[in-house]
Structure formats: C-alpha cells, structure tokens
Structure 1
C-alpha cells in the first residue's frame, strides 16, 4: 500500500541502557517512553501524517506492535530508516514494516554509516520533530534535525526523562512555551496537541 503523504513528523527515541551513561538511565521513565511511543503511533495511524524514524531494537518492536493492533494497513504512514551497516543485526520486526529505507554503508565504519543514514533521514520538509527518552543518539539527532530543518518546531517530551529531558531543560523556550511536555502524562492527549500545533 503506497500513499502520497507530504505531512511528516520525525521521531527520535530509545530506551536508555544501564550499561551506558548513567545520566540517561537514572532519569529515564521506561513506562512513560513506551506510553509515549504507543500514543504517537496511534495518532499517526489515525491521521494523514507520516512518521519517519530510524530503526532501533527497543523502539521498532513497540511501533510494530501498535501497528499490528490497529489491524489496518499503514502503508507509507510509517517509514523506518536503517543503515546497511547493521544488516546482520536487523530484527525480525523489520519485516513487519511496509516501508523500510536502507542507506549505504560508508567505509565499513559504524559512525560514518550512522551519520550518513541520519543525514538522509532528516532531509525535510517536516511538520515537526518529537524526541522521547533516549541517550547520546537522541541528542545527536536533535542537533542534526534542528540544523537541517531550521524553524521547524521540536518537542522533547521531558516527562519521559533521559535525553529528551536534557534537551527540554537546555532551552528555556521549551519550558516557557510547552510546559505540558514535562507535566502532561496523558500521552495520547499530549501527542494530539503536538500534532495540532504542527498542522498548518
């Protein structure tokens, strides 16, 4: 199923690992991350918006499960990017997505291949970017997204903790303009409000 969708939202998300930087794991709310991902997928499936995200072993299954529970073909509404560098590690969940875009490996190097994928994935236009939980990669994707899409609204969901929380508190504009990113715990309402704010 292929559709023509021009209204796109970028998602950057992950679940922090205890073996990595404690600054992310110690503030992460795993249940909130899962609830926010679930809510975002529901809103995308029921709307005419396209979700763009990079495949992640913790996040992709959540999105795939929500798509399966929706019981309807989503076609191009959900687009997952993956670098061929990680081909041997692709999870079975990848096969459940109708639209997967693979980017080339660069010099057989993990970081270069990941940067290449991110640069392609974040080429606009976008209505907005949503950042949930996460570690260094989410903070890096936030920087790339802002540089690649100047003026496009971004929404770090601080209540999910981790990198999203760091991004939120790094800029007073988020705290002044979007206090609900920290205080709202009904994620379906929050995501619908975010989508409403990004709509032209």
Structure 2
C-alpha cells in the first residue's frame, strides 16, 4: 500500500481499507481513539456486516461513543470487589 501524496485523509483511508480487506474478520475490538475509530467502525460494518463489534468503553474516546451507540451496558461506577485469595488456599486448591 502506498501513501496518497500530500493527502493524509486519503492515506489513512487507503491504510484502513488495506487492513480491513486483509482477512475475513469475525470480530473487531475498538479501543480509545477519536474520529478515526468512528471511521474504522463504519468501514468495518460495510466490509464485514456479520462480524461482532466490541468497543471498550472504559478507555474513553470514540470507543465510549460506540459503546453507547451500540447499546452496550454502561460501565460500572466502581470496580467489583474481589475476595483475596491467600497462598494457603492456593496450595490447597493445587493439591
């Protein structure tokens, strides 16, 4: 893939097309980002309409927007509380 002389927007579009046409994808993960993620998401839907799309909202940016637009559940306000696993329990479980 060659860059499009003097046109960043067209160069990015060419790069994204080459990337997304390189395989028959089953899914895509969208993390963070700005408008580029939204462009990639739109292109991905066009090229792979049956594939799953997984935006990671906790990273913010465009991925959070995608998550909201795709009606994913809102992120948790607090992380879940995990009970500590003590080394003695780990040894017990391993034997």
Map of 1:157 onto structure 2: 56
Map of 2:18 onto structure 1: 120
Do structure 1's residue 106 and structure 2's residue 12 form an aligned pair? no
Q: Distance in 1 between matches of 2:12 and 2:58?
A: 27
1:138 shift after superposition: 1.1
Higher strand fraction (1 or 2): 1
Considering Cα pairs closer than 8 Å and 6+ residues apart, tell me whether 1 or 2 has the greater RCO: 1
Q: Could you tell me which runs of 5 or more consecutive residues in structure 1 were left unpaired when the two chains were aligned.
A: 1-102, 187-200
- Give the number of equivalent residue pairs: 78
Higher helix fraction (1 or 2): 1
Q: Between Structure 1 and Structure 2, whose CA radius of gyration is higher?
A: 2
Instruction: Give me the TM-score of the superposition, normalised by structure 2.
Output: 0.71
Q: Distance in 1 between matches of 2:39 and 2:52?
A: 17
Query: Per-residue displacement from partner, 1:54-108 (whole Å, max 9, x unpaired)?
Result: xxxxxxxxxxxxxxxxxxxxxxxxxxxxxxxxxxxxxxxxxxxxxxxxx201243
Q: Could you tell me which runs of 5 or more consecutive residues in structure 2 were left unpaired when the two chains were aligned.
A: 81-95
Map of 1:143 onto structure 2: 42
Contact 2:30 2:55 in 1 (8 A): yes
Give every structure 1 segment of 4 or more consecutive aligned residues whose post-TM-superposition deviation is greater than 2 Å: none
Instruction: Give me the TM-score of the superposition, normalised by structure 1.
Output: 0.36
Q: Distance in 2 between matches of 1:134 and 1:110?
A: 17
1:142 shift after superposition: 1.0
When the two chains are superposed, the root-mean-square deviation of aligned CA atoms in Å is 2.2
